[in-house]
Amino acid sequence: MARREEHHADYDPRPVTDSELREEYSREEVERWREEADRKHGEWFTVLNNDYGKD
């Protein structure tokens, strides 16, 4: 429980800068997130454009 409280004490809700993110995450990791987001977005439109039930 102390660890959880410690995490909240260190949490800063202010936005981070691009340079701070570059220090924490690799370019490959960010690119993987983008690709996954694009794929999920495409899946959503597949469902959205489905004619099932549109009689």
Q: What is the pTM of this model?
A: 0.50
pLDDT at 31: 92
Identify the burial level of 44 via C-beta atoms within 10 angstroms of its C-beta, where 0-12 means exposed, 13-18 middle and 19 or more buried.
Answer: exposed
pLDDT digits (tens, 9 = 90+) for 1-31: 444 555 567 777 788 887 887 888 898 998 9
User: Buried b / exposed e across 4-34, counting CB within 10 Å, b at 16+?
Assistant: eeeeeeeeeeeeeeeeeeeeeeeeeeeeeee
Which position has the higher pLDDT, 3 or 53?
53
pLDDT at 32: 94
| Chain center to CA of 3 | 24
pLDDT digits (tens, 9 = 90+) for 29-50: 989 999 999 999 988 878 777 7
